[in-house]
Amino acid sequence: MQQTRVAVVGSANMDLVGTAPALPRPGETVLGSDFVMLPGGKGANQAIAAVRAGASCVFLGAIGSDAFGVTLKARITGAGVDTSQLRVVYGASGVALVMVGAEGENAILVTPGANGAFVGLTEGELHAVRAADVLVAQLEVPVETVTAAAVAARDAGTRVILNAAPARQVPAELLAVVDLLVVNETEAQALTGRGRDEPAALLELVPRAVLTLGAQGAWYVDRDGRSVPVPPVKVDVVDSTAAGDAFTAALAVAWGEGRELVDAVHWAAAAGAACVRRLGASVALPRRAEIDELYAPPA
């Protein structure tokens, strides 16, 4: 099997993660139980997850000139990701403040830092996109950057997967070149004004879509008339922070390897389930053997 070549355009953050018996309500202080500092950001997470799932991956993004930036680059490179196109910009790196409750639920505040300065793709960055089998992007960097990368990918015959997170409106120019959209219920509502009961509404925007439903699994739809529920993979949840990133990256790898898309979504669901069994973002992303262990093919 030929190794899938993935390019990820997205964010890199330092995650400051605190755990507690319950998440604090507004105005409340809760005594926590643990703290860790880990590399994260949806872009970096998905790049690392793609490598662990079996792909080669180049990451396009921006880190700051601070100590967090040094650590981020070292950790991302150490995970096997090609960081030759990773920019360093003067100032602070992106930071995510993550609170995790005892049941695995989380609340996250992100300050973009260098991610907000990731604009104007260079020829080297565009070449990396064009050389990939699959481009994966999210919305934690400027949308004009994502759009430019997606247009370049479409022109080169590279498949485009957009994980439209965090929830926001997406310009028509970007949606026009998306091959596969991945969204949760909140993100789907932001795009269509409709919720989980109408995943087909996403097909008014893109030719194929996956609606992720957390503990309820996922739903795949396409313009060929398929509408397929994908059951959840049952595991004990420790931390759901990067489950969506593991899912999206595994989906890109499986599709790039030539799996039929419904089967690819099942494999991605196993990746998301494997991820939630450990605390943290990038450190919890599963390796291929862990995904295969939980994978159940479509009936």
Q: Residues within the annotated binding site?
A: 13-15, 41-45, 140, 184, 212-217, 239, 241, 244-245, 275, 278, 280
As to burial, measured by CB atoms within 10 angstroms (0-12 exposed, 13-18 middle, 19+ buried), residue 260 is exposed
Which residue positions form the known binding site for substrate?
Answer: 13-15, 41-45, 140, 245
Contacts 24+ apart (CB under 8 A), 108-111: 108/241, 110/13, 110/140
Contacts 24+ apart (CB under 8 A), 223-231: 226/262, 227/199, 227/200, 228/262, 228/265, 228/298, 230/262, 230/265, 230/266, 230/269, 230/298, 231/269
Question: 277 φ, ψ to 5°?
Answer: -80, -5
Q: Find where tokens 């981020």 sit.
A: 72
Active site residues: 245
Which residue positions form the known binding site for ATP?
Answer: 184, 212-217, 244-245
Dist CA 148 CA 201 (whole Å): 25
Dist CA 1 CA 30 (whole Å): 50
Annotate 208-261 with DSSP letters as a single string. EEEEE-GGG-EEEEETTS-EEEEPPPP---S--TTHHHHHHHHHHHHHHTT--H
What single letter denotes the amino acid at residue 30? V
